Structure 1
């Protein structure tokens, strides 16, 4: 099989690998599509320290069951599936259901360096992490379920009152948060995003796009919505984006921190204490969130289509990584067809 190898930071190559075989309790998946995540780009550049040269990355994926390991009777060969990449020990799966992302011994497909992950034509995963796609769901949409699970979990972290909701950052995760908010019933979503191409993509999703370079985000929210935001989601995760979320929300509002652009933040503390706002963290997702994201995305195919900017063949993936890392103007998700 062919796979995309991180040869060194800043350089990837398509290399031939032995075909993997599933062991007991494992499933072999013939990969169809794998999305390029922002963390993959950071791994490519060496920015986040969570990827190493010599590994095959990839965790946003879909495909078909190709073979079953010993002890398994399903899912049937040929079943369209996606993969939940957050893996907890088999003996802890029941106890940690609904909070797998908090397990201290978890590992993540595409992050663990000794596991050939989903930028490969075939991948072996535990059967408990294989999620069949709903009937009629396109395989390309299946590769969007993982980022949608991130957004679904984040939206579920807040109790959303009626009223306008602000999202800081209109990249792929911010766009996924927009869709997850709409799926949860939000009718007015505003997004602060400096890139014009992303603002256009956000408007196609039905959000109101705000240019933070045009003035105060808080003032623009009030001008456009008539009132401050009732809640906010920071899909960037730096000091400026979080400050914008805090000042643009009403007193007593909650702000969910989803993005992780920087490991430390400067907080406008009075905007939290004096205004009695709450700051809530959100990381990855549970298996429950993953299942909910699967069902909701299957029910909103137009939104899934709008999240994808383009699909490239595996042979073009090294150049695609280079261009994305250089900051080209791709507004949404890029899928690699394997």
Structure 2
């Protein structure tokens, strides 16, 4: 069986591996499409502290049920599914209060255990989500990145009429933009330093775009908000040095959603936080957002196809990694066709 295996940092290839079997309580999925994520790139570079090598990566994927393990009920062979990568214990404090995405014993498919960049993968039956009849398998592979956007927006608790500022117009920034628009947030401002990404943000409904290197972002935000600042800020750029600016641009009672795993310290001015009573929230993975995302994709409220810049065969995945490493401005979401 073919799999994309990362044996060590910067040591990756399409390899022949032993095909998995459906473990008890699990389902064997024949993978059709899988998306390359920034988290996959961090694993390849050795920047993910959670991964153990060798690892078959991939946590954004969809396919068809090929076999069911012992004890699995209500799952039929041939069903089209996507897979939530968050595997939680159900017993620890976060699980008990309904936040399994920060389970203290969590495993992430494609990080802690082998993932979707292989022809077949065994996954817990509880993590399967059936696809609506008219939703294609390639678009279904995008449910996971949209679930990241749904999660950070929930963590920020939008109010009617709130403006949103999104730092970063890469894939996650664009999913936040689309999800915010689908949920009724009318004014979304997007900042980035790559013109092509800003053009895509405008196509997807950004009300204003700002170039972080050429524009005076702070002055423009204050002009657009008549000096009030922005109630909602989503950090999809994940650059720690931007936090002081976010604190300045947030309105009183504003909420800032942080998505980055960068270990570099950020300067945090307590005065900015306290005088405006700001809320800073972290957002990790997704907390049961797959059903909402599937519904929005099926209804057309989210335009998954607009997110995809490349569809490549499995054998070309190493070339796709090289492109994302050296020319990230050329790509949005790169989908790999594995067994469609």
What is the TM-score when the length of structure 2 is the normalising length? 0.91
Quick check: 31-40 or 295-304, which moved more?
295-304
> Partner residue of 1:77?
77
For residues 125 and 138 of structure 1, the distance between their equivalents in structure 2, rounded to whole angstroms, comes to 21
> Partner residue of 1:139?
137
> Partner residue of 1:273?
274
How many angstroms does 1:314 deviate by?
Answer: 0.9
Does residue 193 (structure 1) correspond to residue 192 (structure 2)? The answer is yes
- 1:78-112 deviations in whole A, cap 9, x for unaligned? 111000111123778x9648411121111111111
- Confirm or deny: 8 A CA contact 2:240 2:262 kept in the other structure: no
Q: What does residue range 1-338 of structure 1 map to in structure 2 within 5 Å?
A: 1-89=1-89, 96=96, 98-112=98-112, 115-161=113-159, 162-207=161-206, 208-224=208-224, 226=226, 228-287=229-288, 289-300=289-300, 303-338=303-338
For residues 263 and 298 of structure 1, the distance between their equivalents in structure 2, rounded to whole angstroms, comes to 39
For residues 89 and 278 of structure 2, the distance between their equivalents in structure 1, rounded to whole angstroms, comes to 37
How many angstroms does 1:221 deviate by?
Answer: 2.1
- 1:257-276 deviations in whole A, cap 9, x for unaligned? 12233442212332212222
**Structure 2: gaps of 5 or more residues:** none
How many angstroms does 1:298 deviate by?
Answer: 2.3
- Confirm or deny: 8 A CA contact 2:296 2:302 kept in the other structure: no
- 1:172-228 deviations in whole A, cap 9, x for unaligned? 111111111112210110111111111111111111321011233222223345553
**Structure 1: gaps of 5 or more residues:** none
CA separation of 1:327 and 1:266: change in aligned 2, threshold 3 A: farther
How many angstroms does 1:229 deviate by?
Answer: 1.8
- 1:135-173 deviations in whole A, cap 9, x for unaligned? 211111111111111110110112223142101111111
Quick check: 125-134 or 210-219, which moved more?
210-219
- Confirm or deny: 8 A CA contact 1:312 1:336 kept in the other structure: yes
- Confirm or deny: 8 A CA contact 1:157 1:280 kept in the other structure: yes
SS in 2 for 1:214: coil
Number of positions where the alignment pairs a residue of Structure 1 with one of Structure 2: 335
For residues 336 and 184 of structure 1, the distance between their equivalents in structure 2, rounded to whole angstroms, comes to 29
CA separation of 1:69 and 1:267: change in aligned 2, threshold 3 A: same
C-alpha RMSD of the superposition? 2.2
CA separation of 1:296 and 1:110: change in aligned 2, threshold 3 A: same
SS in 1 for 2:19: coil
How many angstroms does 1:327 deviate by?
Answer: 4.2
- Confirm or deny: 8 A CA contact 2:324 2:331 kept in the other structure: no
CA separation of 1:302 and 1:104: change in aligned 2, threshold 3 A: closer
For residues 303 and 97 of structure 1, the distance between their equivalents in structure 2, rounded to whole angstroms, comes to 33
CA separation of 1:217 and 1:260: change in aligned 2, threshold 3 A: farther
For residues 149 and 27 of structure 1, the distance between their equivalents in structure 2, rounded to whole angstroms, comes to 22
CA separation of 1:106 and 1:51: change in aligned 2, threshold 3 A: closer
